[in-house]
Amino acid sequence: MRIIRTVAGVRAAVAESRSRGEIVGLVPTMGAFHEGHLSLIRQARAQSGLVVVSLFVNPTQFGANEDLSAYPRDEERDAELAREAGADVLFAPAVDEVYPDGFATTIHISGITEVLCGAVRGPQHFDGVATVVAKLFGIVAPDAAYFGQKDAQQIVVVRRLVRDLDIPVRIVACPIVREADGLAMSSRNVYLDAEARAQATGLNRALTAAEAAVAAGVTEGKAVLKAAMAELTASGIVPEYLELRSPDDLLPVDVVEGPTLLAVAARVGRARLIDNRMLEA
């Protein structure tokens, strides 16, 4: 595996691979790898001739009072894990390589960035996501890009980006990877002390309770949310949001009839955690 820090270097590696007729897969990350990230790399490895993993803590998607400075970073560890999972290239640029002096372009996607995490963190969060992902797609020009389903809203945003700008990349959503107790794996889980770590498992229990309610024939949205909220309350968790949304356009859902995204976010201890479950009557 090569560690490359420049746009020119990555483009040269991709050009070399394409000259051999290989499929190029991209796994965009902010590092602090866990099994969720590694599952994306392994899936890319299974489907690609060249696997590029980007490692870039993107400053433009963090708000003024968020955890940019504290976000966990350990490039040496991440590089070894990426190598073991099958990456060919680790693209680890400096901030000024991605955003050179005078950079003045922002991509805003209307309608789907103002809800859920956008309503809490501000729509500028997804402006930062869309802009950096568009840059990565322009730099790497992958055939496919791999994202974790835990960031469900991000996947909707990226798919809209690709559709609206006619970017020829296939977006692959990979299943959420969970700890043995059901907590969705997240780089921010390192912020949790033992008490908060136990409390955080209430997020998955809430999703499971809603899923069980739907399986038992409950389809009215308020009743489904009530089942989930009962578990959150029992765990002492006050959600930032707990909502039913269409998985395609994030419009509100009042009745669970077809595939429906149940999304939750909450602050537990020092960590802001998100999770979701796809429900279907």
Active site residue ranges:
37
What separation in angstroms does the CA of 23 have from each of 4, 159, 175, 190, 212?
A: 19, 20, 22, 35, 41
| Helix axis angle, 7-19 to 124-140, nearest 10° | 50
- Indicate the pairing of strand 144-148 with strand 89-91: unpaired
Measured distance CA(160)–CA(153) in Å, rounded: 11
Is the Cβ–Cβ distance between 207 and 275 less than 8 Å? yes
Residue 142's nearest CA partner among 24, 12, 267, 8 is 24
